[in-house]
Amino acid sequence: MARIYNRTTEKPRRQLLRREMPRAEKILWSKLRGRQMLGYKFRRQFSVQTYVVDFYCAPARLAIEIDGDSHFQKGSPARDDARQAAIESFGIDFLRFRNVEVFEHLE
């Protein structure tokens, strides 16, 4: 059976994304790390197949994605929808937030 989660082929990409996290992701990570969210452990830049999600909670099977400006350019919504459908096909729930929601309405 092929490995689905955190493939070694995706490791350099995950590491780069961790080093270069946008401000909104850093803010949300500060609230998710260390089991601060109802005791659930979240991982950042977790891969599912060839896709990398911003945050993932394995016990809840929950992926969280923070959408910056690049997600609203031509063609991006269709790619995001296909990516989300592929991830959800593994039984993972998916939450998507915009940067502005993190900045202005984090609670």
Is the whole model's pTM more than 0.85, yes or no?
Answer: yes
Q: Which two tokens stand for residue 30?
A: 């500060």
Number of domains making up the chain: 1
* Any domain includes 1: no
pLDDT score at 76 = 77
State the chain's mean pLDDT as an integer: 92
Q: Is residue 2 part of a domain?
A: no
Phi-psi region of 13 (alpha: psi -120 to 50; beta: other; left: phi over 0): alpha
Q: What is the band of 1 on the pLDDT scale with cuts at 50, 70, 90?
A: low
**CATH number where 37 lies:** 3.40.960.10
